[in-house]
Structure 1
Amino acid sequence: MGYKVAVVGATGNVGREMLEILAERRFPADEVVAIASRRSQGVEVSYGDKTLKAKALEHYDFSDIDICLMSAGGAVSKEWSPKIAAQGAVVIDNSSQWRMDPDVPLVVPEVNADAIAGFTKKGIIANPNCSTAQLVVVLKPLHDKAKIKRVVVSTYQSVSGAGKDGMDELDRQTKAVYSLGELETKKFTKRIAFNVIPHIDVFMDDGYTKEEWKMVAETKKILDPKIKLTATCVRVPVFISHSEAVNIEFENEITVDEAHEVLRNAPGVLVVDKRENGGYVTPYEAAGEDATYVSRVREDPTVDHGLALWCVSDNLRKGAALNAIQIAESLINRKLITAKQKAA
């Protein structure tokens, strides 16, 4: 008998992606339940060849749920994740609410799968920020090879990172540009159509945004607290996939060929790096794919033992839904949970 899985926030971008990936990967679920807010109750979502009607979170009994994939935002997670965990489900949360809680593991399975076992403290496992997830998948094998000292990263983040509203705003504004209509700006701080915005999340006292802080703090928690990292996070007029330009300074020497070799052998990474027209991956090509793609690996001559590279990943998949489901698969593969139906 398989597991019973709940997807909370099932009508949102990431929730729908979770349902799609559960079906794609043939996750061992006997039943999958779509759950959303009261206003989205009854909305239909697809799960493989099935259609599920969303149930209201406020009225749902989680006592027979084994795994809850939570993608309903930080405020909802703060209130509901502990309640759901108290009923015996393991909550895998996609919001920022629990990421820096010392009693909640923050996990990217290709990087720190062993940390998953720490879920027993609160019954919650945190998914990292989308821009962090793809970055640490790339940094991990390089860190193991030559020990990373410092990282400078500039992100080019798609509007889907801001949810359906962000995608809709880019769509409306683009149409308005071509039709000479009025451009309305609601979701973003400035127009996003044919523009880039160096501002994601709120500003902090030191001038960095919270998105940039997340990349720093989460990379240290997931990978190594000794790594120094600075980030500039930018929203770009792309619907799906985040891109990152990354400069890495190592303690030990590492050549481009050595970097290629370790990255080609790393889980979750695909190297597409030809020094010719089109010999790299763009966000468009990464959309719908599971891998984090690495291109344009080259020596950084401005520091000792430095490399520069470009990485791209579908933020709705590896940056959110796929990573959560990989965590759930790891729980099962490591025999850290058993289905409640089996225990009954």
Structure 2
Amino acid sequence: MGYRVVVAGATGNVGREMLNILAEREFPIDEIAVLASARSQGDMIEFGETGKTLKVQNIEHFDFAGWDMALFAIGSTATKIYAPKAAAAGCTVIDNSSLYRMEPDIPLIVPEVNPEAIDGYKARNIIANPNCSTAQMVVALKPLHDAATIKRVVVSTYQSVSGAGKQGMDELFEQSRNIFVGDPAEPKKFTKQIAFNVIPHIDSFLDDGFTKEEWKMVVETKKIMDPKVKVVATCVRVPVFVGHSEAINIEFENELSAADAQKILREAPGVMLVDKREDGGYVTPIECVGEFATYVSRVRDDPTVDNGLVLWCVSDNLRKGAALNAVQIAELLGRRHLKKA
């Protein structure tokens, strides 16, 4: 026996990826509904590679009563309207927006890191999915934290344009094409030209000079993993279509060698260690596209601090950073609480 599942925002990048992953992982589904805004009503969308096509329904008129869970990828504004309606109707919401992440009575879940936190979902019947950059980082950090207790993390991200949605991907493509043919490459979605460039600015600026994206990485890591860990981030948009990368410096309370860290990461859930100290012996964003794992490479000792390590972390941001994590939360919810299948 399976579940009655809703995917809201099914026509967007993350929503489509949710459908792909539900199909790939053979999530037990008795019935599925796909929702979007009024302008997409009646469109047909493929359900992964199952051969099935689904008709898009208007979220404004959808009745969530009788549905088990809803995976939301509709942005904070729409989520604020429809998530409480779904939750009140008895449909558990797994939300990909930032709206509820820091609410104290809403669990923020990465299943490999804090699965037990899902037990608090009944307070609001809503579960939050973390920021894409946070999700992959904590998957890599948690087994190391368990082994030697992390004191401080300094992370620089190299985030793909798909993190800014279809508009971001279109802008990179159009600017690249325009530059090759000698046409202007004016920015529209981003604050500066993204083609053949990097932009040290994601989301809005805060009063302290950090951006909201950087703030998210700090507070979400503390909520998911450990409030005592100190985190500082610099988030950079790079001209890559899919796949976020991170250079992470870690300071531990206890000694942990690079060799021991490699052994731990080799066995860690959700992590794939690819760390050959030779040309090409590491993973880049283009190689992680379509993959489930969070890849870790270039693990080495940091000689500038006591008990320090440095590593490189890469993941498909549309998957582990969004859709895959949401589906994993749905699987966890089923195992621990709904138990239909």
* TM-score category, normalised to shorter length: over 0.9
From 242, 245, 269, the counterpart of 1:243: 245
Q: Report SS of the residue matched to 1:163.
A: helix
Where in structure 2 are the equivalents of 1:72-221 lying within 5 Å? Answer: 72-221=74-223
> What are the Cα deviations for residues 117-171 of structure 1, in whole angstroms up to 9, with x where unaligned?
1100000000000000000000000000000000000000000000011001101
Q: Distance in 2 between matches of 1:222 and 1:327?
A: 14
- Unaligned segments of structure 1, at least 5 residues: none
Q: Report SS of the residue matched to 1:193.
A: coil
Shift of 1:78: 1.1
Q: Report SS of the residue matched to 1:111.
A: coil
Q: Report SS of the residue matched to 1:54.
A: strand
Shift of 1:184: 2.8
1:297 matched to 2:327: no
Shift of 1:338: 5.0
Letter in 2 for 1:198: P
Q: Distance in 2 between matches of 1:329 and 1:2?
A: 11
> What are the Cα deviations for residues 44-99 of structure 1, in whole angstroms up to 9, with x where unaligned?
21103111121000011111211100000011111110110000001000000000
Q: Distance in 1 between matches of 2:339 and 2:89?
A: 15
TM-score normalised by structure 2 residue count: 0.98
Q: Which residue of 2 aligns with 1:29?
A: 29
Q: Distance in 1 between matches of 2:297 and 2:339?
A: 40
Percentage identity across paired residues of the two chains: 67
Q: Distance in 1 between matches of 2:248 and 2:216?
A: 16
Letter in 2 for 1:274: K
Q: Distance in 1 between matches of 2:106 and 2:20?
A: 26
Shift of 1:43: 2.1
Shift of 1:277: 0.4
Q: Which residue of 1 aligns with 2:8?
A: 8
Shift of 1:102: 0.4
TM-score normalised by structure 1 residue count: 0.97
Q: Distance in 2 between matches of 1:31 and 1:91?
A: 16
- Unaligned segments of structure 2, at least 5 residues: none
- Counting matched residue pairs gives 339
Letter in 2 for 1:116: I
CA RMSD of aligned residues (A): 0.9
Q: Distance in 1 between matches of 2:339 and 2:39?
A: 33
> What are the Cα deviations for residues 246-295 of structure 1, in whole angstroms up to 9, with x where unaligned?
00000000001110011011000000001100000000001110000000
Q: Which residue of 2 aligns with 1:282?
A: 284
Q: Distance in 1 between matches of 2:223 and 2:28?
A: 30
Q: Which residue of 2 aligns with 1:263?
A: 265
Q: Distance in 2 between matches of 1:149 and 1:44?
A: 50
Q: Report SS of the residue matched to 1:131.
A: helix
Spell out structure 1 runs of 4+ moving beyond 2 A: none
